[in-house]
Amino acid sequence: MSLLEVVDLSAAYGPIQVLHGISLTVDAGEVVVVLGANGAGKTTALRAISGLVAAKGELRFDGVSILGRHPESIAHRGVSHVPQGRGTLAGLTVDENMRLGAYSRRDREGIAADLAEWYDTFPPLAKRRSQTAGTMSGGEQQMLAVARSLMSRPRLLLLDEPSLGLAPLVTKQLFETLATVNRERGIAMLLVEQNAALALELAARGYVLEAGEIVASGTAENLSRDGEIRKAYLGR
Amino acid sequence: MDLNLFFSQLLNGLSSGAIYASLALAIVLIFRTTGILNFAQGEMALFSTYVTWWLADQGLSIGLAIAISVAVSFVGGAVIERVVIRPFEKASPLVIVIATLGLFLALNSLTQVVFGTDAKQLGSAFPDTVWDVWGLRIEAQTIGILVVLGLECVALWVLFQRTRIGLALRAVADNPEASRLLGVRVGTMLMFGWGLSAALGSLAGAMVVPTTQALTASSLQSVLVFAFAAAALGGFDSPLGAVVAGLIVGIARALTIQYIEPLNNIELVVPFAIILVVLLVKPAGLFGSTQVERV
């Protein structure tokens, strides 16, 4: 049984159908990437999984249907969505953002230990812990968004374009950290990304989304060898 | 100039200002968490005050009556959010303004239907002791009101800065969608915010009535006007602004009554003239950070 099972999922914004019955799975501890052009429905797919967008079809997390549940309760089950634009609580401090990441937890010692650990992993955040989050650079805010999600001890991270607006070097460091987190913590990730080269390095498998439908899928290795995908997403 | 008279008017201004500040705090609390200007804030407080009166009329001590009324108001405020406001969650700000105005009229009528239209007498929670300090008369009432405002401020600060639920309330005010993704139950937080605001209004009502002659259905209306003025002056998103501006408005009003005699009702003009000037120079208010959109 996969950790996340999406079967024939459709979603619409008012009269505009965005997802036309997509199916995908993410196994426990696995990193899966969804590639696709702008407007293909990648963000909508993640928003449907985390409950922000109403959807039809089947949606199961850890064997339990989460279709139609509130985003709050899906978050409590261990799905943590890092939204596009990072969802920084701009007027709160870095530390307050981090503590809100652990909002669904009650174990004080565990939270304190995780806080220390993630500040260790992301030193720039530790340095700015009492700074207002909205005043940080884009790269630092993305770091915060990921670290904050990790504070909830998720079993599945949904990452929406984490590289958006970041300098190449910062993006590279971020992906290295994601790889480490996945390896050491066994946290599964479903990643939506324009930077296909980096994403396929991180992911074990991938799907290609076009106009709301899955048009290709396979192991990251096979996808990066595929001629058309290379042309469309890898630029070579 | 008669310094004694000046200081006694200053004290008068501080005590009415503290009440404006209390109600302005309630307005700011709802505006910060929901972006809604609640025009029914005064009438919510009116209903609460009648509840306080009714409980006292049943023979309860005034302090106990206020405490119970505060608790009832908290629940009532939360219910109003869920039943009256939530259905308009995705409506335009204009629709929500109309909804709060409707709530204003409904609560005013409901108060008269439930409690009758005759004027009520409500005692003060504070003793009617008067201290004489170097010839200046200081009423226990004035000090009591200021102490209550001070306690409200401390309690709100502790709630917002030191508790988990306060942190969640601030998160919802900052970015509701991101908060939901972190597992914060936004609906519950909004209900909590409205409940808190109604509870503050209940306290303000219980303090204002003993300082005026009697409790009637229009008792809270001028207070609401000055509280709104204070919230605008301080900045609709700033609790500190609400408190400071509430006191400024109260003092300005009291000094106007004392020193600008020739015109009737001039005390209504001066505070608003001050506000006009401040907002022309600083549209977000003295302590506000966001521009308030016109609706």
Mean confidence (pLDDT) of chain A:
93
Nearest to B174 among A81, A83, A91 (CB): A91
For A115, the domain range is 90-153
The string of pLDDT tens digits covering residues B235-269 is 988 899 999 999 999 999 888 888 877 666 777 78
| pLDDT of residue A122 exceeding 70 | yes
Q: pLDDT class for B293, splitting at 50, 70, 90?
A: very low
Mean pLDDT of A56-83: 96
| pLDDT of residue A1 exceeding 70 | yes
Q: Assess if residue A83 is contained within a domain.
A: no
Strands laid side by side in the A156-160 sheet: A79-82, A156-160, A188-192, A31-36, A205-210, A213-219
Q: Work out the minimum CA distance from A75 to partner chain B, whole angstroms.
A: 5
Q: Assess if residue A104 is contained within a domain.
A: yes
Q: pLDDT class for B178, splitting at 50, 70, 90?
A: very high
Name which of A167, A168, A92, A81 is nearest A128 in CA terms.
Answer: A92
| Residue contact B182–A88, C-beta within 8 A | no
Q: Assess if residue A84 is contained within a domain.
A: no
Residue numbers in B near A90 (CB within 8 A): 174-175
Q: Does residue A120 share a domain with residue A60?
A: no
Q: What is the pLDDT of residue B55?
A: 96
Structural domain count, chain A = 2
| Residue contact A100–B167, C-beta within 8 A | yes
Q: Assess if residue A189 is contained within a domain.
A: yes
The string of pLDDT tens digits covering residues B141-177 is 999 999 999 999 999 999 999 999 999 999 999 999 9
Q: Does residue A132 share a domain with residue A16?
A: no
Q: Does residue A103 share a domain with residue A174?
A: no
Q: pLDDT class for B39, splitting at 50, 70, 90?
A: very high
- Identify the residue whose tokens are 């503290």: B18
As beta bridge partners, residue B210 has: none
Q: Does residue A181 share a domain with residue A74?
A: yes
CA dist A33 to A42, A189, A204, A208, A229, Å? 10, 8, 8, 8, 13
Both structure tokens of B169: 């309330």
Q: Which of A89, A97, A104, A156 to mutate to test the interface with B (most CBs of B within 10 A)?
A: A89
Mean confidence (pLDDT) of chain B:
90
Q: Does residue A159 share a domain with residue A208?
A: yes
Mean pLDDT of A42-52: 96
Residue numbers in B near A50 (CB within 8 A): 181
A141 contact B CB<8A:
no
Q: What is the pLDDT of residue B214?
A: 86
Q: Does residue A114 share a domain with residue A18?
A: no
Q: Does residue A184 share a domain with residue A137?
A: no
The string of pLDDT tens digits covering residues B114-132 is 999 999 988 888 888 899 8
Q: What is the pLDDT of residue B292?
A: 47
Q: What is the pLDDT of residue B1?
A: 66
The Cα–Cα gap between B262 and B256 comes to 11
| Residue contact A52–B184, C-beta within 8 A | no
Q: Does residue A163 share a domain with residue A46?
A: yes
The Cα–Cα gap between A97 and A83 comes to 14
Domain boundaries, chain B: 18-219
Q: Does residue A60 share a domain with residue A167?
A: yes
| pLDDT of residue B294 exceeding 70 | no
Mean pLDDT of B227-234: 92
Name which of A138, A101, A139 is nearest A118 in CA terms.
Answer: A101
Last residue of a domain, one of A122, A153, A184: A153
CA dihedral A212, A215, A218, A220 (to 10 degrees): -70
The string of pLDDT tens digits covering residues B186-198 is 999 999 999 999 9
Residue numbers in A near B86 (CB within 8 A): none
Residue numbers in B near A76 (CB within 8 A): 183
Mean pLDDT of A192-198: 90
Q: What is the pLDDT of residue A108?
A: 92
CB-count exposure of residue B221 (10 Å: 0-12, 13-18, 19+): middle
Residues B145, B239: contact at Cβ < 8 Å?
no
Cβ contacts of B56 within 8 Å, gap of 6 or more:
B62, B65, B122, B123
Q: Does residue A224 share a domain with residue A132?
A: no
Q: Assess if residue A85 is contained within a domain.
A: no
